[in-house]
Amino acid sequence: MRLAHCSNISDKGLEEVANKLSLLEELDISFTSLSKHSLEAIGRCCPYLTTLKFNKLVYDGNNPYLDLRNDDEAFAIAKTMPKLCHLELLGNKLSNDGLVAILGGCNRLESLDVRGCFNVDLGASLGESYGDTDNVLAALLEMCSLCISE
Rounded to a whole number of angstroms, the distance between the first and last alpha carbons of the chain is 30
What pLDDT, on the 0 to 100 scale, is given for residue 30? 95
What pLDDT, on the 0 to 100 scale, is given for residue 75? 98
What pLDDT, on the 0 to 100 scale, is given for residue 129? 56
- Exposed e or buried b per residue across 43-70, where buried means at least 16 C-beta atoms within 10 angstroms of its C-beta: bebbeebbbbbbbbeebeeeeeeeeeee
| Extents of the domains making up the chain | 11-147
What pLDDT, on the 0 to 100 scale, is given for residue 132? 45
pTM (predicted TM-score): 0.80
What pLDDT, on the 0 to 100 scale, is given for residue 68? 77
DSSP H helices in the chain: 11-17, 36-45, 72-80, 96-105, 124-130, 133-143
Fold that domain 11-147 belongs to in CATH: 3.80.10
Please write the tens of the pLDDT for every residue from 52-61: 999 997 655 5
Q: pLDDT tens per residue, the chain (150 residues)?
A: 999 998 899 999 999 999 999 999 999 999 999 999 999 999 999 999 999 999 997 655 555 545 578 899 999 999 999 999 999 999 899 988 999 999 999 989 888 998 888 888 766 455 555 544 444 455 555 544 444 433
